[in-house]
Amino acid sequence: MAARLSTSPVLSYAVLLPFLSRRAAASRSFSPFPFPFPFLRRSNICFSSQALSMARDTSAQDVSAQARRGFPSQVDDFASPGDLSFESPLKIVEYPDPILRARNKRINTFDDNLKKLADEMFDIMYKTDGIGLSAPQVGVNVQLMVFNPAGERGEGEEIVLVNPRIYKSSTRTLFFNEGCLSFPGIYADVERPASVKIDARDVTGARFRVNLSGLPARVFQHEFDHLQGILFFDRMTEDVLETIRSELKALEQKYESRTGLESPESIDKYERTQRQQIAGFARR
């Protein structure tokens, strides 16, 4: 199985699912679910029924090392056993906790602890009605994400991606209404490429490449941004950001009340120049 993955140059999402999913380890039967997905109403990363398609040629930019601007993906800063430690049950980290902006280290140990972390990420994802979740959202700053576009335990397929990298994205972009488990109750339009080509490892360490489009591409890019320290409002236009400003301020106030600390971020001090410094949509 691992050999087939490592020797396949580029795989489609439907072909890859039987290899990536946790359920495939117990059963080889698989029926790829259709597009568009019928599960959008369950998703905490929800999508509007009307999407504005835009053909933009956004030039590629390197990811910078500053907060809100992501981190260099080529740095071999591997996670230690301590970095991969966690306490059960996992809890969702909410904005503006600085954990969401911290560097997320790459993983080079593929063991039972990593599988257990992925399992528990799925558990909290389902409990909070999500369809995707990144490790920093549960307080573990490593390059790990899980998702299941069905958003229901026992339905769809559970995907685990380790050390993912986007090596190409489409010039065609779409606006969709997104939400985020780290921003409870907040939804707004975000522009992203319609499809991406990625390189990653599965939970066993097998490396592969895959083309994603539709809902899987949207969910992947949202979670991938988390791994770069980028939050979904970083990619919103000024007009869209203004519609959720009061809700972001409420989360900042909630953080201060809960921790007794000053909020590490303030949407009132959030400048347009900061959004302009965010990396582009990877290579075209």
**Do residues 135 and 145 touch, judged by C-beta distance below 8 A?**
yes
Tokens of 178: 């997104």
Nearest Cα neighbor of 144 from 108, 168, 180, 169 is 108
| Residue whose structure tokens are 């389902």 | 126
| Residue whose structure tokens are 């969910």 | 219
The CA-based angle 284-159-99, given to 5 degrees, is 80
Distance CA 196, CA 198 (A): 6
Distance CA 51, CA 218 (A): 12
120 among known catalytic residues: no
**Of the listed 94, 120, 158, 223, which one is catalytic?**
223
Point out which residues pair with 105 in neighbouring strands: 142
Nearest Cα neighbor of 249 from 235, 237, 263 is 263
Nearest Cα neighbor of 15 from 30, 3, 26, 25 is 30
Known catalytic residues are 223
